[in-house]
Chains A and B, each alone.
Chain A
Amino acid sequence: MAADYWTSTQRMKWQFTRDSLKNTRLELIKLEKSMEDSNLISKIPMDYDIYMRIYIHSLINKLGRRLNIRQIALSTAEVYLMRFLTKVILKEINLYLLVTTSIYLACKLEECPQHIRTIVSEARNLWPEYIPHDITKIAEFEFYLIEELDTYLIVHHPYKTLLTIDEVLSKRQKFNKPQLNDDDNVNDNNNTNNNDNNNNNNNNVDADDLNNKRITSFLTPEELQTSWSIINDSYVTDLLLLYPPHIVATASIYLTIVLKYTHIQQLRLEKKNSNGIGTNDLNPNQFRYKNDESLQNYINFLGYSNIDLEEVIEAVQELITLYEAWESYDEVKCKKTLEIVLLNRS
């Protein structure tokens, strides 16, 4: 994180409204049409739709995991890719090369640079038909990418706000309920354990990031992890092109708490119906008390926070739509379409 979001190029230069984003994409479609007509690109339909975007998301994560790259750099890479594809037609470029280059550039930006040979060879292991041996192709594409980004490179992510909101909420909770200290001890133990870990994978690095900052916490470690994962998923959508990062963070916590809350409500209902068998094991009363309250606390916080709730609701809806689409996502189909278009296979 560097610089202030409110004066950032992300807000001043790279934030769309729903309308402006729609118009930008309509322009692209017009361009695509005319390029198809003059046989510059393939006429086989390939849309930058939600399924393709889930596929792109999975490509980024695959290469990222191979190289053990920090989550923040992968998220930056996804934003670069998203911005790039507001200006360039998907069919016009080699998507696999774009994915590789976005990660390569994002790693430089987030100060965890990867050697160009390493990244090319890992990408070649994954996608041998698409990634050329020649490393200068990545270097050239990087230049093209920077140009299309208009050289605005810093990206503000929701992760930091997630931690800040958690901190603020824990302070409010502490103020109201000093006896919740027991929970804090549990978290402290988690901290020491996590710090002893040697960051085997990028999830752990993130967990360390989380825990170092978290002396006390409003969200349980699982809730925090869920919110974090929802933020990771949000990069499939246009959210970060449309809203400030704190809106996405707020929406992710909302989904986490509410989903869990409804889930527990449902459990309780099932318990009641089965005549109270096994109620003692779960101690649902304790559950209920805590969760009703955290939901209430969160809603109170939203009320006082001055956060644009309409935007939060839109973000929540967009995320729910994403999860619904995920149910019917077909990876093979996306892969095939790309094969047909990029390799002329049928």
Chain B
Amino acid sequence: MGLSAINKYSKAKKVGEGTYAVVFLGKQVQTGRDIAIKEIKTGQFKDGLDMSAIREVKYLQELMHINVIELVDVFSAEGNLNLVLEFLPADLEMIIKDREILFSPADVKSWLLMTLRGVHHCHRNFILHRDLKPNNLLLAPDGQLKIADFGLARSLGAPNEDLTSNVVTRWYRAPELLFGAKHYTEAVDLWAIGIIFAELMLRVPYLPGSDDLNQIDVTFQALGTPTEDNWPNVSSLPGYNDLKIYPEPSRQELRKRFIAATESALDLMSGLLQLNPAKRWDTEQALLSNYFGKELPVPTKPENLPKLTKKE
């Protein structure tokens, strides 16, 4: 037992810097394996370790799944905590933006399947990710998709515990969060997956609100304004006021917006984008849906998925 020694790893170059960490590329000396090292800034030593860092360590030490980023090791050096993570050279956002790549429906299905599997594993362990977006879905050299960035993750709250609604990057935020709900569930992650699914089909962000207010408008313009009829008690949520009432889109309208989508793809997307979180599909329903079960094409094998055309 005990933390590893620093000399088991070599740091090559700095590749990124966030609010609480600096990321380096490096190698595991003994095996030559490529790895990423997230050096957590503790230099200021004011409140101790940042909450995001705590959450990341806390959950990644427990979760083990092919579609969740692997925490290979942890070591401390010069008073800093270093997370050794598997090396993941690309993310889904980069792939979506790479105009030279063509997606086949089988590719989209494959990425969505891996996302749902990873999130299913989190939910099975009562962990909400709370920040799903293409940028946090990383891609391994062998094509496997890995859910990363658990800095906002938390355990499903107890019934009397308040949660903050200030989670999830705006474009992927579920309606209950837009309304400022203090109690919510795994359903917030499924909404985000629904939006990611739409983005994979459209190749542009589906509901790009310019600010929090505009996000509400953009969301309900596309998917209809929730009412007491389809979502009992929605009007008692703190942010439910002064809403423009938009009708729910007809199936025909959805077909027009998502031209290439099959009927079962639309079924799945609509299930994930149910306004009422109680009616929204969970990971199991999604994974067992016809889109994955009965309908062709079968998902592309991860190793055959398109890769970035230009190297950075």
Chain A residues near B (Cβ < 8 Å) = 1-4, 7-9, 13, 104-105, 108-109, 111, 113, 116, 135-136, 138-140, 142-143, 146-147, 150-154, 205, 208-209, 212-213
Q: Are A108 and B51 in contact (CB under 8 A)?
A: yes
Q: Which residue of B lies closest to A111 (CB)?
A: B154
Q: Which residues of B contact A8 (CB under 8 A)?
A: 62
Assembly CA distance A109 to B59 (angstroms): 10
Q: Are A111 and B155 in contact (CB under 8 A)?
A: yes
Per a CB cutoff under 8 Å, which of A3, A9, A113 touches B51?
A: A113
Assembly CA distance A202 to B64 (angstroms): 34
B256 at the interface (CB under 8 A from A): no
Q: Offer 21 A-B interface pairs, CB within 8 angstroms, sorted by A.
A: A2-B125, A3-B63, A3-B126, A3-B127, A4-B125, A108-B54, A109-B58, A111-B157, A116-B48, A136-B45, A138-B48, A139-B48, A140-B45, A147-B76, A151-B3, A151-B61, A153-B58, A154-B58, A154-B61, A209-B160, A213-B159
Q: Are A139 and B45 in contact (CB under 8 A)?
A: yes
Q: Which residue of B lies closest to A199 (CB)?
A: B160
Q: Which residue of B lies closest to A9 (CB)?
A: B61
Q: Which residues of A contact B81 (CB under 8 A)?
A: 143, 146, 151
Per a CB cutoff under 8 Å, which of B3, B61, B160 touches A153?
A: B61
Q: Are A136 and B158 in contact (CB under 8 A)?
A: no
Q: Are B54 and A153 in contact (CB under 8 A)?
A: yes
Q: Which residues of A contact B294 (CB under 8 A)?
A: none
**Distance in Å: Cβ of A21 to nearest Cβ of chain B:** 13
Assembly CA distance A88 to B268 (angstroms): 54
Q: Which residues of B contact A150 (CB under 8 A)?
A: 1-3, 74
The 10 A-B residue pairs with the shortest CB-CB distance, nearest first, are A2-B155, A142-B48, A139-B48, A3-B62, A3-B125, A212-B159, A139-B45, A153-B58, A151-B74, A136-B45
**Known A147-B3, A154-B61; further 18 A-B contacts with Cβ < 8 A:** A1-B155, A3-B59, A7-B62, A9-B62, A13-B1, A104-B48, A108-B54, A109-B58, A116-B48, A135-B46, A139-B47, A142-B49, A146-B49, A146-B81, A147-B76, A151-B81, A208-B160, A209-B158
Per a CB cutoff under 8 Å, which of A2, A152, A153 touches B127?
A: A2
B79 at the interface (CB under 8 A from A): yes
Known: A143-B79, A146-B49, A150-B1. A2 touches B57 (CB 8 A): no
Per a CB cutoff under 8 Å, which of B47, B59, B64, B154 touches A7?
A: B64
Q: Which residue of A lies closest to B155 (CB)?
A: A2
B290 at the interface (CB under 8 A from A): no
Q: Are B160 and A139 in contact (CB under 8 A)?
A: no
Assembly CA distance A105 to B160 (angstroms): 22
Q: Are A1 and B126 in contact (CB under 8 A)?
A: yes
Q: Which residues of B contact A143 (CB under 8 A)?
A: 42, 48-49, 76, 79, 81
Interface 1/0s, chain B 113-139, versus A by CB < 8 A? 000000000001111000000000000
Assembly CA distance A209 to B79 (angstroms): 39
Q: Which residues of B contact A151 (CB under 8 A)?
A: 3, 57, 61, 74, 81
| Total residue contacts A-B, CB cutoff 8 A | 90
Q: Which residue of B lies closest to A213 (CB)?
A: B159
Q: Which residues of B contact A138 (CB under 8 A)?
A: 48
Q: Which residues of B contact A147 (CB under 8 A)?
A: 3, 76
- Which of A1, A2, A104, A212 has the most C-beta atoms of chain B within 10 angstroms of its own C-beta? A2
**Distance in Å: Cβ of A218 to nearest Cβ of chain B:** 20
- Which of B48, B62, B81, B160 has the most C-beta atoms of chain A within 10 angstroms of its own C-beta? B48
Q: Are B126 and A2 in contact (CB under 8 A)?
A: yes
Assembly CA distance A152 to B42 (angstroms): 18
Q: Which residues of B contact A116 (CB under 8 A)?
A: 46-48
Q: Which residues of A contact B126 (CB under 8 A)?
A: 1-3
Assembly CA distance A147 to B46 (angstroms): 18
Q: Are B61 and A152 in contact (CB under 8 A)?
A: yes
**Distance in Å: Cβ of B5 to nearest Cβ of chain A:** 13
Q: Which residues of B contact A140 (CB under 8 A)?
A: 45
Q: Which residues of B contact A108 (CB under 8 A)?
A: 48-49, 51, 54
Q: Which residues of A contact B48 (CB under 8 A)?
A: 104-105, 108, 116, 138-139, 142-143
Q: Which residues of A contact B46 (CB under 8 A)?
A: 116, 135-136, 139
Q: Which residue of A lies closest to B73 (CB)?
A: A151
Assembly CA distance A180 to B310 (angstroms): 71
**Distance in Å: Cβ of A128 to nearest Cβ of chain B:** 22
Assembly CA distance A205 to B161 (angstroms): 10
Q: Which residues of B contact A109 (CB under 8 A)?
A: 54, 58
Assembly CA distance A147 to B78 (angstroms): 13
Assembly CA distance A147 to B80 (angstroms): 10
Assembly CA distance A244 to B159 (angstroms): 25
**Distance in Å: Cβ of B262 to nearest Cβ of chain A:** 36
Q: Are B57 and A153 in contact (CB under 8 A)?
A: yes
Assembly CA distance A213 to B81 (angstroms): 39
Q: Which residues of A contact B125 (CB under 8 A)?
A: 2-4
Q: Which residue of B lies closest to A2 (CB)?
A: B155
Q: Which residue of B lies closest to A72 (CB)?
A: B158
Interface 1/0s, chain B 34-64, versus A by CB < 8 A? 0000000010011111010010011101111
**Distance in Å: Cβ of B307 to nearest Cβ of chain A:** 32
Q: Which residues of A contact B42 (CB under 8 A)?
A: 139, 143
**Distance in Å: Cβ of B107 to nearest Cβ of chain A:** 31
Q: Which residue of A lies closest to B125 (CB)?
A: A3
Assembly CA distance A139 to B46 (angstroms): 6
Q: Which residue of B lies closest to A136 (CB)?
A: B45
**Distance in Å: Cβ of A313 to nearest Cβ of chain B:** 29
Q: Which residue of B lies closest to A205 (CB)?
A: B160
Assembly CA distance A2 to B59 (angstroms): 8
- Which of A13, A142, A146 has the most C-beta atoms of chain B within 10 angstroms of its own C-beta? A146
Assembly CA distance A150 to B154 (angstroms): 20
Q: Which residues of A contact B61 (CB under 8 A)?
A: 9, 151-154
Interface 1/0s, chain B 64-101, versus A by CB < 8 A? 10000000001010010100000000000000000000
Assembly CA distance A124 to B70 (angstroms): 41
Q: Which residues of A contact B57 (CB under 8 A)?
A: 146, 151, 153
**Distance in Å: Cβ of B294 to nearest Cβ of chain A:** 31
